[in-house]
Amino acid sequence: MFLSVFDIFKIGIGPSSSHTMGPMTAAARFLEDLRGAAEKIPGAGRLAGVTATLHGSLAFTGKGHATDRAVILGLCGLLPDTLDPDRAESLEAEVRRTGQITPEGLGTLKFDPATDLVFDFGPPLEGHSNGLVLRAFDAADNPYHTETYYSVGGGFVLTEAELRRKNEDAVSLHDEKQARDFPYPFGTAKEMLAMGTASGKTIAQMKRANETVVHGADLDAKVNRIWQAMDECIERGLTKEGILPGGLKVRRRARLIHQQLLAERGRNQVQPHQINDWLSIYAMAVNEENAAGGRVVTSPTNGAAGVVPAVLRYYRDHCVGSRMEGIRDLLLVAAAIGGLIKHNASISGAEVGCQGEVGSASAMAAAGLCAALGGSNEQVENAAEIALEHHLGMTCDPAAGLVQVPCIERNALGAVKAVSAASLALRGDGQHFMPLDNCVRVMFETGRDMSLKYKETSTGGIAVNLPEC
């Protein structure tokens, strides 16, 4: 099993990896299909228009997550990692005004978001709770091409056929090829620890060896770019103020708290728990940027994008002996843990609730920090397990479908838990009662049994218990 560090950490835009980045990517993939569809459909007429239907969680919280905007921009040919926000805004306005799109190589097509972008509030599609059906028609309104996509969390998108193959093939030929091609093809934490013991290598070293097969000498530069994007996001969030979009009138707080903390530096009577405030504002800065639709890095999702960057910034600015190699190790180990969780359970709030998003992010950050501070492989695995265990059962119930309440503060607490978990693990010898693999399994089973109204549909929990105004 191999998920790259760049699969787990993807540069994109807010507010949601599953509801914004995924649908945008799906729409762009659909354009590629259309460019080759004439060859696949003998006798097809001239392509004239497209429609999109959102199902399940994409429908219930799509407005709050800007899913409609994402589909529009994807059908214009834009992608999350290269999107120019200024151009995107003007493109969206033009499509809404004209009811047309002009994707490269396909001419002018009818697509009026008011009528051709449908939010279906019925039962979700069978394959996944984040379903999206894109259809194309010829000039006589006959079907031209149809594809169903599932946004499965963290910006990952699968067609219906791809999802079916994934579910049917516990060990696919692709996985077997990976097992031959990568030096340390661990698919569970147990395998990871065993390979570490047999090779004498750390988890970071094994992950680096796997990544080098794909990325070669460019690996460090690419990892540095991920950290730079995270750090820049924190800096933007620490300098901005005002009200976040969406109607809840949530005020940005990271800048004000940051100013307070800077003013308190050097005082003799600062409370020791103030360090938690530093961790919190780093995470809040990222998630306020995410809520505003800014550029963020999935870590492993947008809804949980603040945890890993916050712990990285804490390591760099507050930990004794921090170094750039430690930052890269932290990211590599965090990606290794995130890959295990995604492979064996889920990182999608629509599948398993927020335990799969902030819980996974906290486990990743805890493991990474433990590794960067010199922890053994066993201590790293223990740190991840502690952090994940104490997020089990967490629901995903965002108010008004916006990634703001409780998401912004939840990332702050996820970062605090990650540091606490790493510290506890470093105080031990790595031996503990609950293996990480078992904890991941519990998370998956808990999510499977969780009511749909607590899985990113905004139909239960905090989402329906707002103060009366």
pLDDT of 170 reads 41
**In Å, what is the CA distance from 423 to each residue of 19, 117, 352, 378?**
34, 49, 27, 14
Q: Is residue 271 classed exposed, middle or buried when 0-12, 13-18 and 19+ CB atoms within 10 A define those classes?
A: exposed
> What contacts 12, CB < 8 A, 6 or more positions away?
20, 21, 80, 81, 155, 295, 296, 297, 298, 302
> What contacts 338, CB < 8 A, 6 or more positions away?
3, 8, 300, 347, 360, 361, 364
Q: What are phi and psi of 170, to 5 degrees?
A: -60, -40
Question: How far apart are alpha carbons 102 and 111 in whole angstroms?
Answer: 10
Q: Domain ranges in the chain?
A: 14-167, 182-464
Q: Residue 163 CA to chain centroid, in angstroms? A: 18
Residue in 352, 371, 374 with CA at minimum distance from that of residue 129 = 352
DSSP E strands, 113-192: 117-119, 130-138, 143-153, 156-159
Using DSSP, state whether 84 is helix, strand or coil. Answer: coil
pLDDT of 197 reads 98
* CATH architecture observed for domain 14-167: 2-Layer Sandwich (3.30)
- CB-CB neighbours of 254 under 10 Å: 27
Which stretches in the chain have pLDDT values below 50? 42, 170-177
Q: pLDDT tens digits, residue range 201-244? A: 999 999 999 999 999 999 999 999 999 999 999 999 999 999 99
Question: How far apart are alpha carbons 359 and 309 in whole angstroms?
Answer: 15
pLDDT of 267 reads 83
Q: pLDDT tens digits, residue range 96-123? A: 999 999 999 999 999 999 999 999 999 9
Residue in 51, 42, 275, 26 with CA at minimum distance from that of residue 152 = 26
pTM: 0.89
pLDDT of 171 reads 37
Q: If you count them, how many residues does the chain have?
A: 469
Using DSSP, state whether 292 is helix, strand or coil. Answer: coil
Question: How far apart are alpha carbons 196 and 230 in whole angstroms?
Answer: 29
Structure tokens at 265: 């530096």
Question: Which position has the token pair 């004498």?
Answer: 200
pLDDT of 45 reads 64
Written as one string, the DSSP assignment of 323-357 is -HHHHHHHHHHHHHHHHHHHHHS---HHHH-GGGT
Please answer whether residues 129 and 456 qualify as being in contact, where contact means their C-beta atoms are separated by less than 8 angstroms.
yes
Structure tokens at 53: 């239907």
**87-96, long-range: CB < 8 A, 24+ apart:** 96/72
Structure tokens at 2: 């191999």
Structure tokens at 416: 């605090």
Structure tokens at 283: 């995470």
Question: How far apart are alpha carbons 11 and 84 in whole angstroms?
Answer: 13
Question: How far apart are alpha carbons 108 and 446 in whole angstroms?
Answer: 47
Q: Residue 108 CA to chain centroid, in angstroms? A: 33
Question: How far apart are alpha carbons 318 and 312 in whole angstroms?
Answer: 10
Please answer whether residues 13 and 83 qualify as being in contact, where contact means their C-beta atoms are separated by less than 8 angstroms.
yes
Please answer whether residues 458 and 353 qualify as being in contact, where contact means their C-beta atoms are separated by less than 8 angstroms.
no
> What contacts 332, CB < 8 A, 6 or more positions away?
5, 203, 204, 207, 208, 211, 223, 368
Helix or strand (DSSP H, E) at 453: none
